[in-house]
A and B are shown apart, each in its own frame.
Chain A
Amino acid sequence: MNRNRVSPFGENPPPYYSYGEEVEKFDDYYDDALNSVVSGENIPTKKNPIIDNVNDSVLRRRRSRRSARKLRRHQQLLEGESNEPDVIVDDDDDDDDEDDLRTRIEQKKGPGHWTPFLHERRAKLLQKEIKQSSGCCGGSNTNRQNWRKFKIWKKEMSYKLEPWGSWLKNVEGHQGTGVVSYFVFLRWLFFLNLVIFILMLLFVTIPYVAFSNNGYTYVVTGSGVSGMSVASEQTCSPLYQVNVSSDAKTLIQDFLQGSGWMEKTAMFYGFYDSQDLNSFVAGHYSLPLAYLLTSLVILLFSLITMARYTMQSFRENLEDQNEKHQYCNRVFGGWDFALSEEGTAVLKHRSLYKDLAGELAEQRHHEARKNMSSNDKCRLYTIRFFINFMVICILGGSGYLIYWVTDWVTSFLADPNYKTNNDAIVVLLVEFLPSLTITALNGIVPLIFGIVVKAENYTPEFTIKITLIRTVFLRLASLAVLIATIYRIVSCTDKETTCNVGQNACDSLRCWETYVGQNFFKLIVLDFLVKVGVTLGYELPRKILTTKCDAAICKKIGLAEFDIPKNVLDIVYTQTLCWLGFFYAPLIPALATISMFVLFYLKYLSAMYNTNPPEIPYKASKSNNFFMIVLMIAFFLCCLPVGYTMVKLTPSYGCGPFRIYSYMTVCVDATISNFPSWLQTIIGIFTSGSFIIILLVLLSLIIYYTSSKSGARAKMIVMLKEQMIMEGKDKQFLLNRIYELTGEKPGAKKKDNKRPPSNGPRNGPPPSAVKTVNEVHQNGNVSKDNDEIEKKIRVVELTPVDDVPEVVPYNDPDDSTRKTAETAFKREVTPVDWDQVPGDENTNRTTSTVTATNVAFDF
């Protein structure tokens, strides 16, 4: 194929000439380039078999003519006569596109301006350079060039900075794009956590550690604002004491639990103080305010980055919400071009086969199910009902178990002598018991879900989804229960009045925020350890078992599968913990960052060596969205407790940056009270209820506007689709009509469909009817065959434009449909200025016929 676009250099392209060389060299293949520039942009979307058939011979002739012309040009070049200025227009094939070309050449490379082969694109570029050097609009050009340079630089930088790029590539070759999407997601979360960590470090930890005054000399902003009491703070702060033991075992234990010496580090809320850092460079630096605002900024930042990430993939898949094109998706998007491993390729073949065969079986099954007897249906629905009931029971049971365990552990720890009465290991176990329970449930319950879902007889895709949703519910539910338990402890009402610390039945937590932080700290540590354990303690031995042991049973066990959904949910869970915990333990993001970082290498290890690609073809596109939605849900759920803490809960009097405030948000009021009064008024207006209502109304109006716009677009899509089908039918009808007129049978067309490969419409300019007929005329003395075809074409040509719609026997009696068809015809008519056509001998055609021809063919 592509013989008509063979490089002008022939078989052996010379080394690239520099820009300084004479332009004439470039002339010599200009018509080729011109063609391809045009063809690259006019991919024929509609085809006309008759014309194509005619073109067969015609194109071949045209090509030979062109090469003759090229030869002529070449000779001219040799003889030095080539400096004729009209060199561009002399090609009769391309002149109607010439103006178009000029404008296009000026445009930048981009979608839709892609020419198939590189050397042709170079020609295009050369042309552009020449135009630029002729210097019409230099200023804007330099600007544009600079901008382009900047963009390229940016691209290069991002390429350089893309971390783990080659690692991803390796994974892709091994496991396919599905698994890579997991790694990309993991990397994304790593960076998110890194940013969160840096924000926290920069605005909270470092200022406090570096600039805090030792000793309690308070510079309190906004005294006089209600909800501040420095007095209770002064009595309560000394009461908050942490027992630090120097015993090595206890040190490690404390490290894992976040108690003891860990509790006094910058990791936890209790470490920070409410003072304004007056030794800070620019005067006062209110730590409470910084703490609050940084937290808010982090939440906002997370939301925005998530929304951006989601929108990118969401936009691509928005139109794909109906499952109408699943077979095409499977076949045309089935092979992973990035695969480079023999073994993986075999597995991919197998999984594709399974997927396709399974889907087809499913389809038949579905047909069968439609005809299922009501008895069977009844049975199926009963089973489903019971299983769903069971799932809810399991979820509820798990929730209760967590609640009970947390409760029991709290009462166990309430005994002040528990450390001395029990062995250290027991204490450690008990302390970790809630986290252990949650982790264990997360490990076991999804397995049960995986088994029971098989009895429910769903479609394979829905099976994956429902199992995932149940798992997600489990994860979030267990966290919710944990939060509820903690909340119960924190909001216990029986409290002593001076320091607001629980008494009698209530736990006496001197610093409840740190307690909350410790809980999440433990969860993150444990979660991390479990992940390391699973990779090294389960996948690795399995790999060793499979490779080292020859017994049949070992072979049967085989490698573990890289379970993408489970892995993604794992990191979503870690992220949830990070969001929940960062307010109570500001350095938890650091922990999460490290965890993600190590996890990347661990998972790389397991993806490269220890696991097989997932058997179920993983829809990267769809599940990405699903996971992001899960992440979003998790995020909003995280916002609730954090927000509630900020607004509604009384902070501990004895610790933390908010110890002097009755609510955390009071520190904002305190800051505002220091502002000049006019600013206070403005802020007052903006935060008043009436303003918020107006804002809400405005927002809802905008939402309404966008939603109705999207609704209108959806309608438009449906309409365009119909039109597309309509035009297809038009084509069919017109074909039939041509066959009627020429006396051929419509069926015969299919067999003629195969044309010599060199004649791809995308290989040259789209064969428009006008040119073809032209060619037929120009070559009057061609074989009889072509003459006959020509005659046939003339018959069609003579059909007046206005007649066409009249004879359309539409099945659809709707008048508007016919109108669409009419406009479709007329729209295609492109007026051609025939005076501009350089006179090859026989082109004495009238415009009206041309128009008719266009109508008949160029649809």
Chain B
Amino acid sequence: MGGSQSVFSEQELSDYQELTYFTKKEILHVFKRFQTLDPDSVERDKNAKLNRETILKLPELQVNPFNDRITTVFSSAGDGCMTFEDFLDMMSVFSDNAPKNVKVEYAFRIYDFDEDDVISGKDLREVINRLTGEQALNDEEMEQLIQNILEEADLDDDDSLSFAEFEHVISKAPDFINSFRIRL
């Protein structure tokens, strides 16, 4: 760790430790990963703000179909740019130790493409399209799938999922907690 150890003071590290779901060692590890994204600017200023393209160099995000949403949601400025703190935040939420409810909240925001605080049919369509990638479901299948999802999750029949409904259905979706994480 040598080099990066000196970047943060002990106080800063224990602060971060307190504020995230990481240990000090993990935080340094996160910083290392952050550093590899753009070594020069991070060298100059550890709080450098990296733009979206740089952040997306992280392999996990590179292939992630929701990567633009993730960067937007975790960017404190809301423009997809991230400082180390934002980055740390993101990794912390995706870590194994983050509790389900935290993950659920962020997942909701990631899947809520138009940011209207409900996951509507349109959002669902977008999610599914991004999931299947190049091969797209045809319209009939898509309709059927969206109907199925709404049938399962939309308790109040308003054709969209509110956060409560989303949280409820995620609690029944055992794969979520396993898949919504990025290992350090």
Contacts and interface: CB of A to CB of B under 8 A. Distances in A.
Q: Do A and B come from one complex?
A: yes
A326 to B, nearest CB: 8
B78 A1 contact: yes
B76 A753 contact: no
B172 A325 contact: yes
A556 interface: no
B41 interface: no
Interface in A36-52: 43-47
Contacts of B65: 335, 349
B101 A357 contact: no
Contacts, number: 258
Nearest to B154: A728
A803 interface: no
A501 interface: no
Contacts of B183: 165, 168-169, 172, 338
Nearest to A125: B18
A328 B149 contact: yes
Interface stretch (A91-99, A116-124, A285-293): A116-124
Contacts of B49: 11-12
A216 interface: no
A169 to B, nearest CB: 4
Interface string B5-42: 00000011001111110011110000000000000000
A788 interface: no
Nearest to A725: B155
Interface string A68-84: 00000000000000000
B18 to A, nearest CB: 6
A334 interface: yes
A152 interface: yes
Interface string A324-349: 11111111111111111110111001
Interface in A337-383: 337-342, 344-346, 349-350, 352-353, 356-357, 360, 363-364
A6 B76 contact: yes
Interface string A288-320: 000000000000000000000000000011011
B102 A114 contact: yes
A44 B25 CA distance: 35
Interface in B113-129: 114-118, 120, 124, 127-128
A15 interface: yes
Contacts of A121: 19
Contacts of B16: 118
A2 to B, nearest CB: 4
A352 B76 contact: no
B59 A173 contact: yes
A7 interface: yes
Contacts of A344: 63
B19 A122 contact: yes
Given A118-B85, A360-B141, A324 B174 contact: no
B19 A125 contact: yes
A346 B135 CA distance: 10
Interface string B83-99: 10110110000100101
A340 B59 contact: yes
B105 A43 contact: yes
Contacts of A729: 156
Contacts of B85: 13, 117-119
B107 interface: yes
Contacts of B127: 331-332
Contact of B173 (A111, A333, A336): A333
Interface residues of B, number: 90
A3 to B, nearest CB: 6
Given A159-B23, A328-B173, A342-B63, A334 B133 contact: no
Interface stretch (A485-493, A614-622, A626-634): A614-622
Contact of A349 (B99, B131, B179, B180): B131
B51 interface: no
Interface string A165-182: 100110011000100010
A155 interface: yes
A125 B18 CA distance: 8
Contact of B117 (A18, A346, A762): A762
Contact of A345 (B17, B63, B76): B63
A45 B181 contact: no
Contacts of A316: 174, 177
A15 B117 contact: no
Contacts of A760: 109, 115, 117
Contacts of A102: none
Contacts of A753: 116, 118, 120, 160
Interface in B148-165: 148-149, 152-153, 155-160, 162-164
A156 B89 contact: no
A755 B114 CA distance: 9
Interface in B125-147: 127-128, 131-135, 137, 141, 144-145
Given A111-B99, A334-B179, A7 B76 contact: yes
B117 A761 contact: yes
A2 B172 contact: no
B156 A731 contact: yes
B12 A333 contact: no
Interface string A541-573: 000000000000000000000000000000000
A110 B85 CA distance: 19
Given A340-B59, A760-B115, 6 more contacts: A12-B49, A181-B178, A328-B169, A335-B179, A349-B132, A360-B137
24 contacts: A1-B72, A1-B78, A12-B49, A16-B15, A45-B163, A45-B164, A125-B18, A181-B178, A328-B153, A332-B166, A332-B169, A333-B179, A337-B180, A338-B60, A342-B63, A349-B134, A356-B137, A728-B155, A729-B156, A732-B157, A754-B116, A757-B115, A762-B109, A762-B163
User: What 7 A-B pairs are tightest by C-beta distance, nearest first?
Assistant: A728-B156, A349-B133, A333-B175, A621-B174, A340-B59, A345-B63, A333-B176
